[in-house]
Structure 1
């Protein structure tokens, strides 16, 4: 009669030992690869250089001349736009270039300045505002709108589409449009119709006048 030899190894009635040991390793490798792929999906767009500058136009109606200005403490490359004729309140604010709206809402607090009460209390920040992603790490921002934006986050807009109206919400002393162009999430000098605006540093108060070429293409 054969005697039973005792071992300290548990009896394995399932898969053979070789493949069973391999399964956890395979799963571990697959998990690591999945994590690396997810990380690459986040990191690669961040390190990729910005694309070419879109053909930005003034964010106001075709043919209108506006004063672009800045002042000490305004921050470099920030542009304030005021019409050279007519009332600023309620003037249309247009998309500078095609893109996707990423933000359309309230920045800070609104305050109480309206056409009926232009000297009402100031708010904080940008008030009603819109931010557009133009692709290639290019972005524009439009602040101090009169009322809730006429676009929504996720909406695709064409150049010249209406985003809202000029107001004085947020930290604003008078009705105007605060405008920014950003490349790779850093503010840069705004270009319009392929030409630098001339608004750069905020070391002094100065302004330039430009006429909008934000015009709809003629229909055939």
Structure 2
């Protein structure tokens, strides 16, 4: 014969057992979700990069610019200066189609403007943009004059304007600091299928290139 006390004890044990099963089910489901989330991030990161996009100079079609580097600039970094006309406010274009991942401020802006070109320097890249071109390829555009003309998550076409050339951040004069990256590493910049020749910052080096970042025909 089961006493009321014995019945309550049995019911309590059953409830505790049921709660434990529910807890383990929840924990297991959480672990499965966590593993799936890690795999979704890790697998693409471990996959090899795709083919290099046909990057173009990030300036308007037909313009000739000076590309250069200097000791201490960091390997593969490229500074672009126009050879003709006023540099402040020149259009900065996407080198290839992609998705904007960053559009904001890197470091601090400083106070160098067209009205006060010798104002205080800032830190870092100032106004900047990063674009993901797929296949682990990325470009970066630094020292823009004003807040970028694009926003994170926006899809941009090759040649679409993303900002204006300026001198925000740690910049001594209006120019565009530009990088191409494959995965986590900077690589030599290629424009219209040709290498720039800027691979290290051991010595000062400059070269001129004419932009083929032109609107599609037709």
When normalised by structure 2's length, the TM-score is 0.89
Instruction: Identify the residue that residue 34 of structure 1 maps to in structure 2.
Output: 33
Q: Distance in 2 between matches of 1:212 and 1:66?
A: 8
Deviations along 1:81-119, one digit per CA (max 9) or x if unpaired, are 011111211110000000111111111111111111111
Structure 2 stretches lacking a partner, 5+ long = none
Correspondence for 2:120? 121
Distance 1:20 1:121 in 2: 64
Partner of 1:203: 202
Aligned partner of 2:192 in structure 1 is 193
25 and 102 in structure 1: CA distance in 2 versus 1, 3 angstrom threshold: closer
Give the aligned partner of residue 71 of structure 1.
70
Contact 1:93–1:163 under 8 Å retained in 2: yes
The answer as to whether partners of 1:139 and 1:185 remain within 8 angstroms in 2 is: no
**Equivalences for residues 139-154 of structure 1 within 5 A:** 139-154=138-153
Aligned to 2:164: 165
Q: Structure 1 residues 106 and 31 mapped into 2: Cα distance closer, same or farther (>3 Å)?
A: closer
Q: Distance in 2 between matches of 1:90 and 1:32?
A: 51
Post-superposition offset of 1:11: 2.9
SS across alignment from 2:10: coil
Q: 1:21 to 1:146 in 2, by over 3 A?
A: closer
Classify the secondary structure of the residue corresponding to 1:75. Answer: coil
SS in 2 for 1:11: helix
Alignment coverage as a number of residue pairs: 217
More helix as a share of residues: 2
Deviates more, 1:128-137 or 1:31-40: 31-40
Report SS of the residue matched to 2:141. strand
Q: Which structure has the bigger radius of gyration?
A: 1
TM-score normalised by length of structure 1: 0.88
Task: Encode CA deviations 1:18-53: one digit per residue, 9 max, x unaligned.
Answer: x99977665554443323212211211221111111
| 1:47 paired residue number | 46
Could you say what secondary structure the match of 2:151 adopts? coil
RMSD of Structure 2 on Structure 1 (CA)? 2.7
Q: Which runs of 5+ in 1 are unaligned?
A: none
CA distance in 2, matches of 1:7, 1:163: 76
Distance 2:135 2:99 in 1: 12
Other-structure match for 1:11: 10
Runs of 4+ in 1 over 2 A off after TM superposition: 3-15, 19-35
CA distance in 2 between partners of 1:73 and 1:59 (Å): 23
Q: Does 1:106 align with 2:105?
A: yes
2: CA distance, partners of 1:22 / 1:116? 70
String of CA shifts for 1:147-197, please: whole Å, max 9, x gaps.
Answer: 111111111100000011111111111111000001102111011111111
